[in-house]
Homo-oligomer: A and B are copies of this chain.
């Protein structure tokens, strides 16, 4: 039964949120007013989290895919005792604050993923659930569950309209990711008005079609929400989708149930009217009743107890199984084996020409057995991307140990899922497709770059060298596009050995994503005894000119480097002293519009 205290607490979340939006003169009051009961139930009655240690390994995860409702999330984080003060709430959406317009991971304690671009959070949740299942398979024993956290999320109808969420949800259903409970805020309103103008599908039926466990509740009723969420947690074979019928801007006398409550402050008068309507003092701002705060802050003690108990179990596990402690610590501290670089394959100048995708395959398969962090897969192009890790199994319903992910033809879902995996634990997560199909997944790549998530993209078929598939499959603008994206490392190795070096750098990078652009066609192996291979410098002199001051400098990347070396040879014969610079890692590169031709 919902108590008066519950109601007070829920209204505290609502009022803090609309005050924050009003003070910022910018933001979204509608979602916090409508979803406060849902979020309150999760944060105080369901989730196992420790506000004092937001990095506790086995904490339940919560992702607000509808990131525009950030004020609600910040309010809850403050109230339950995370390191986020009332002053932080007061500086909502201000430059340099810990409470930006949309939630940003690594910036605010308790934020698990950067969300806002709709649909991404749903994909992140699926990735977190994959990570959770795989970690459980790695570290649990029949007697002891060290990893058993749940993954919760709240999404909006905007999320439900985005294809990326559809892709991820389809895969989650296929994989039977029972640790997911997703609450869908069905308020019937989007920015342009009633969802009736464009969105009348049966979302529950769709999720049933994906294979989810589907429930339907009044999202304003905490008891109904609690019962449904508990049923979701109890369902371990399928992810759970809870349609929560809500009213956007609930409590606002003149804006509730309308698009006006969505994306603009209510206005001072309407804030006051809303407060009066919900029995709140209308002359108080950022007001937190003592009994509400006391109740919320129980989360601190509860969280500390939960974590302490878990740490006790961890200690017992370390004692029980010799060697386990080292395995555990090494994994979580990302302590790579000392000799891992020695496992990188080396090619000699006498080796036959080899495609860089093929070299990459050899690198992956040389390293993966020794690096348990490596997990990943292709968007239905494993046989072309050559990223399959032989002998390590497929991650499937019946095999959570599998380290190869079968994303299907779902590039965008793959991008968002990879972000979720890498946010959950120090995995070396990779995803593969043709370079041209970067376009299909770019919003997730951008969020990886923005959030500093160490994901590795294996983009093969990186030029017109891809063959006869034609211009629909030919990358042209993609390298420029990626190089202009801040914090995204773009690598286009010139041969097999550079490919190995690029992989090394990508694995060592922990503060952002790396794209490896690889050829389908064979490239000659540049003799490492003749050429200087220093890919870690980004641009570097690969082959020096005959004279100290060269007449010409040719810069190239990837499959064009061999052409540059050929040109150098001819030019030197003609008396032009020529230097060749390889730009494998960074800065811009030559690209011609002519390459947008219809056929090779």
A interface residues (Cβ-Cβ under 8 A, vs B): 24, 26-27, 67, 93-97, 100-102, 104, 107, 114-119, 157-159, 161-167, 170-171, 173-174, 190-192, 195, 197-206, 208-211, 378, 380-384, 394, 396, 406-410, 412-413, 436-437, 439-440, 442-443, 446-447, 450, 467-473, 476-477, 480-481, 484-487, 591, 593, 596, 598-600
Contact = CB atoms under 8 A, between A and B. Distances in A.
A383 B270 CA distance: 21
A198 B406 contact: yes
A159 B116 CA distance: 26
17 contacts: A93-B468, A96-B598, A97-B599, A100-B598, A101-B470, A104-B472, A163-B165, A163-B410, A174-B198, A191-B383, A191-B384, A192-B382, A195-B408, A199-B408, A205-B209, A442-B442, A477-B484
Contact of A439 (B107, B443, B476): B443
Contact of A599 (B96, B470, B472): B96
Contacts of A476: 484-486
Given A102-B469, A447-B472, A477-B481, 17 more contacts: A27-B468, A93-B468, A116-B473, A117-B440, A117-B473, A161-B410, A163-B410, A166-B167, A174-B200, A192-B380, A192-B381, A192-B383, A198-B380, A202-B209, A437-B443, A450-B596, A481-B484
Contacts of A96: 598-599
Which of A102, A174, A200, A380 has the most chain B CB atoms closer than 10 A to its own CB? A380
Contact of A469 (B114, B116, B471): B116
A383 to B, nearest CB: 6
Given A102-B470, A158-B380, A470-B101, A203 B199 contact: no
B469 A101 contact: yes
Contacts of A396: 197
A329 B200 CA distance: 37
Contacts of A115: 472
Contact of A472 (B93, B102, B204): B102
A1 to B, nearest CB: 35
